[in-house]
Amino acid sequence: MYNYVQYDLKEIAFPSSLPDPAHIKRRRKLTWHERFLVLKEASRLYAASWVRDIGPDLRPNDYKKDDVTEGKSNGNKSRSTETEPSTLEDIAIAARGGMETLRPALQRLYMTRASAYRDALKSFIEGYQEGIQQDMEKNEDSSKHSKKAILIKIQLNG
């Protein structure tokens, strides 16, 4: 009874977690200075997230990386710098504006998804019907050939 209370009951009431798998490598612990820097950067980005556009002045490192990759990849500055916001960015901006701006953004999202689904289903049905027609034509051709062969055999035998 003493062993039950000492070991088993404790394990039942407060189960220990499973050990990590062998392939998982544990990260080193951060120093207090590194923790402070992480907290400082996270709080700065959190405060900046309340602004609509987080531009290059708030995230200079990210924009430097983007400029370097754009310069290496294409080198064309003739493209317009204005791009349409992605769906996720559009919804994020609308969510900051409240429910009255979020509802139209979600309706646009659902309508575009529904039209894409409808178009995909329509093209699938058209392709399926074309495949059935081709299969029916092949079957008709093969049945005509087999009927001719049977008629020839009957004429030769008869």
Q: What is the 3-state secondary structure (H, E, C) of 12-75?
A: HHCCCCCCCCCCCCCCCCCCHHHHHHHHHHHHHHHHHCCCCCCCCCCCHHHHHHHHHHHHHHCC
At 63-107, the pLDDT tens digits run 566 555 555 555 554 444 456 667 778 788 878 877 887 888 888
For the chain, what are the domain ranges? 31-71, 86-158
pLDDT beyond 80 at 154: no
- By percentage, how much of the chain surpasses pLDDT 90? 18
pLDDT beyond 70 at 27: yes
| Matching residue, tokens 């602004």 | 51
Cβ atoms 94, 105 nearer than 8 A: yes
At 42-67, the pLDDT tens digits run 998 888 777 655 556 656 566 566 55
Q: Who has greater pLDDT, 88 or 127?
A: 127
For 80, other C-beta atoms within 10 Å of its C-beta total: 5
pLDDT at 80: 45
d(CA 101, CA 71): 36
- The pair of structure tokens assigned to 96 is 């900051």
Q: What is the mean pLDDT of the chain?
A: 77
pLDDT beyond 70 at 110: yes
pLDDT at 55: 59
pLDDT at 54: 55
pLDDT beyond 70 at 28: yes
Distances from the Cα of 133 to the Cαs of 19, 57, 72, in angstroms? 60, 61, 50
- By percentage, how much of the chain surpasses pLDDT 70? 77
